[in-house]
Amino acid sequence: MLSGTKKDIHFIIGIGRSGTTLLSQLLNNHKEIQALPEANFLVFFLNQFQNKKQFTLNDINLLFEQIDVYSRSHPWVGWNFDLEKTKNKIYDTFKANTQVSYREICFQIYNQFIPNCSDDKSSSSILLDKNPSYTLYSDKLKHFLPNSKFILLIRDYRSNVLSRKQSVYFKSPNVAFNAMRWKLFNQKAFKFLNSHPDDFITLRYEDLVEDNQKAQLKIFDFFKIEHKIYPDLKTFNKVTAEEFKISDKFKERFYKKYGDLKKEVFTNRTEAWKEQLSKKEISICEAICGEYGEKFGYIQTTFLSPKQKFILKLKYLFPILLAHINIQKDMILYKISPKWKLKRLKKEYKKLGFID
């Protein structure tokens, strides 16, 4: 059996650009929490590997190849991870015993992500995986890891859309497309929440920024660990491509994804959408998300009639449908073989210039 499998693993989910990276870095200050970067191998291989009884070296090679390729677009900001050392460690185990579960392999890899902080994480009891895409697979993760708990981070849909416009990475900056994705992600999350209310908490990004100490206490109570507060978000998250040795080839993409981590966090930025989205863009957002957003305290400002909402949705039907298709495509890909998915990922990354 592999070592280091006694910890429980839990998840921070929520659509991207909702503060999940900020929260994971903040929680890494707690000695009992080892928060992890985005390394989506767990779900990438889950459908095919979760019940596998015996793994081969080819399986392990494929797993680490995916981790390496994915890291080109999602560098491990704030963590140290020696991929070759970790691979060799698991190789050594397989020489003696191939009867290892996928769960054990995942835990072994997770334990090798060491955060760039002063605290020793070797005795931490909680592995916390932050991954926005996992929002769509919460039910599957819960089935695989029955002891897992989930923190859902929610952000005002108008702020989320604005962030998508200003920090384009892979997804389209289209307002209607991103508003619809915000709604679909959160609907999916809350469907899961209603089935597992004791293993799920929600946290608004705005509340995290307004009173991060209160937000932390809520999380520490949820995990039943001692209270340890990191008090100041304003000077918390300063990162540069140079600090993490990002090559010149990838610096532009690095800053597109992680540029906001250089900025100070102030509460007045939570309402930047009022000035930086046009009235038309706000109307589109509220026509699609307004009623659902009010469940979380996000008040509509345009007061559209049902007819006006219908006309707007009809006008932007194509990007709305694309958002549905985008998510359905992800759900279909979940069931595809890892070897085919990795081939597809590498082809896409070559086009984008991530790999040669």
How many Å is the maximal CA-CA distance in the chain?
68
Residue 1 lies in a domain: no
Mean pLDDT of the chain: 86
CB atoms within 10 A of CB 231: 9
Could you tell me the CATH number of the domain that includes residue 189? 3.40.50.300
Quote the CA–CA distance of 83 and 90 in Å, as a whole number.
11
pLDDT at 241: 47
Compute φ and ψ for 230, nearest 5 degrees: -100, 115
pLDDT at 5: 46
Residue 35 lies in a domain: yes
pLDDT at 246 over 60: no
Can you spell out the DSSP letters for 144-200?
HSTT--EEEEE--HHHHHHHHHHS-SSS---HHHHHHHHHHHHHHHHHHHHH-GGGE
Q: Which helix (H) or strand (E) holds 92?
A: helix 83-96
pLDDT tens, position by position, 255-306: 655 555 555 555 557 889 999 999 999 999 999 999 999 999 999 999 999 9
Q: Is 290 helix (H, G, I), strand (E, B) or coil?
A: helix
Residue 304 lies in a domain: yes
Q: Which helix (H) or strand (E) holds 314?
A: helix 306-315
* Across 118-122, 171-175, 215-219, 328-332, least confident range: 118-122
Tokens matching residue 169: 């990475």
Residue 263 lies in a domain: yes
pLDDT at 146: 95
Domain that holds residue 300: 8-352
pLDDT at 240 over 60: no
Residue 37 lies in a domain: yes
Whether 295 contacts 187, CB under 8 Å:
no
Domain total in the chain: 1
Whether 256 contacts 232, CB under 8 Å:
no
* Across 32-41, 49-58, 237-246, 292-301, least confident range: 237-246
pLDDT at 328 over 60: yes
pLDDT at 255: 61
pLDDT at 206 over 90: yes
Residue 2 lies in a domain: no
Tell me the torsion sign for CA atoms 209, 10, 120, 247: negative
* pLDDT level of residue 65 (50, 70, 90 thresholds): very high
195-200 contacts at long range (C-beta below 8 A, 24 or more positions apart): 195/139, 196/142, 196/150, 199/142, 199/148, 199/149, 199/150, 200/149, 200/150, 200/152
